[in-house]
Chains A and B, each alone.
Chain A
Amino acid sequence: MNDFKVKVKDLSLWYGTSRALKNISMDIPEKKVTAFIGPSGCGKSTFLRTLNRMNDLIDNVTIKGEVYVDNINIYDKNIDVVNLRKKVGMIFQKSNPFAKSVYDNIAFGPRINGISQKSILDEIVERSLKQAAIWDEVKDRLFNSALSLSGGQQQRICIARSLAVNPEIILMDEPASALDPISTSKIEELIHELKKEYTIIIVTHNMQQAARTSDMTAFFYMGDLVEMNRTELIFSNPAKKQTEDYISGRFG
């Protein structure tokens, strides 16, 4: 029971009156990679964004149900969303480094948490960049704009930036969908490394990527969680016909 880092109970979400998620319940294991797959508009990204309450930013969203992170319901009234987001980091589909130097991008999180001592920041920046496997590429240009880097490098900068605030869970919303195959494989290797220390939840529309990187896979369709199981079982022997149709490429 306690191996589950995130537990979702009966979660539904509406944009205005249209229902985007229907009674989702699932348990997400700690220090594993869980992949969400499904056709566009199936609710997988929306669901991911409920896990760090990113949907709070959108007007007109109604959420019912419970999401437990470390057995605490993050939709409780007295939850501090800011603390939740430090614990649950997020990587976006489109890499979004700030128009600042590489160093300032990584130091952003620690700084807003009140760390200003240079030696500590230096150490966090180096550690985070190393963890994100991009230290060797940027160590000589830490003070150049992060926007001068390639798309794949920018995405790893974003991962490093997220690691710098010591999250426990990292949500990734199609992190490699805008990248070339080489950059994609670097991100996938990185995910493999990171799961030793972090719980990773990744949304992907690329089924090979889900198969390669994840331990668990959840298939979403039209706002429903159709099926969730160990990745090799989902891909070799899905229990539901819809899942089988999707992974065999019959629709989506």
Chain B
Amino acid sequence: MNRNIKDTVVEGITGVSVLLIIFIIVSILAVTIVGGWSKLNWTFLSEFPKDGMTRGGIFPAIVGTAAMTLIMAIAAVPFGVITAIYLAEYASEKSIMAKTIRFAVKTLAVVPSIIFGLFGLGFFISFIGKNMDILLSGGELKWGQPNILWASLTMALLTLPVVIVSVEEAIKTIPREMREASLALGATKWQTIKNVVLPGSISGILTGTILAVSRGAGEVAPILFTGAAYFLSDLPKSLSDQFMSLGYHIYIMSTQSSDVDATLPIQFATTLVLLLLTFSLNAVAVTLRYRIRRRAK
């Protein structure tokens, strides 16, 4: 084959691939917007589902998703920041400990999300929850069943790698001269981390948090067994309550509804809300990350 023809073919294949991706994204958005836009209004966002979820809004699913991701962030962010500090500041690159943690973080990031769900069920509910019930209330069932706390903690495990990687990346962009300036003034290592490194890494910590929240808001598998409910007539009031979530709501509406066709606009509108939520969170994270990278240069 002539070289020029080869070039044209390669260019054609790469171009088609790119077009295909754009086509997929545009289709998802177009179908969702066309199907759900008319349904999307304040009432839809602020009402409970009605009539066997064939009418009404998705308020409890929004609140449930928000509450779950908040609790998740409270658990995942401090833990992730502490781990990132260890990896970036204390562990020597070549130490077995650091290598082990890095391997664990990478592995954690590729574990299928349904496995986290099963782990949450086995560890948080059947082990920790059951034993809490035995210790606190003589075995009466309270913590040994799915609830928002266990679901959030399970989700925290899933999003932990995102936090660790973002924060470590931010910590590493703090120039060595800044640390040296602090140490040369007689600051201890911890004082340097607390007063120089962490304040300089704030945007990285924020990026990690937002990425974790946007990931956690969209995932369904980890909360399937650990706390998400089919339908609740009330909002969660305590950590031992179950909750509704946007992703799970879409799944329920499209597979379990008594009248799937009647709920189609609700499904589309719910999908649209979830997409808008994760897209905007990601946009904020990308902007922050861009600013960090620019500083690193």
Contacts and interface: CB of A to CB of B under 8 A. Distances in A.
B184 A108 contact: no
A90 interface: yes
B138 interface: no
Contact of B92 (A59, A94, A97, A161): A59
A54 B191 CA distance: 16
Nearest to A59: B92
Interface string A98-118: 110000000011001100000
Contacts of B185: 85-86, 89, 108-109, 112, 161-162, 165
A83 B186 CA distance: 6
A113 B184 CA distance: 13
Given A82-B188, A109-B185, A96 B180 contact: yes
A52 interface: yes
Contacts of A86: 185-186
A218 interface: no
A158 interface: yes
Of the four ranges (under 10, 10 to 19, 20 to 34, 35 or more), the interface on chain B belongs to 10 to 19
Contacts of A98: 178, 181-182, 196
B51 interface: no
B296 interface: no
28 contacts: A54-B180, A54-B184, A57-B179, A82-B188, A85-B183, A85-B184, A85-B185, A90-B180, A90-B184, A92-B180, A92-B181, A94-B177, A96-B175, A96-B178, A96-B181, A97-B181, A98-B178, A98-B181, A98-B182, A98-B196, A108-B187, A112-B185, A112-B188, A113-B186, A158-B181, A161-B181, A165-B185, A165-B186
Given A57-B180, A89-B184, A96-B181, 8 more contacts: A54-B180, A54-B183, A83-B186, A85-B186, A92-B184, A94-B177, A109-B185, A109-B186
Interface of B: 92, 175, 177-188, 191, 195-196, 199-200
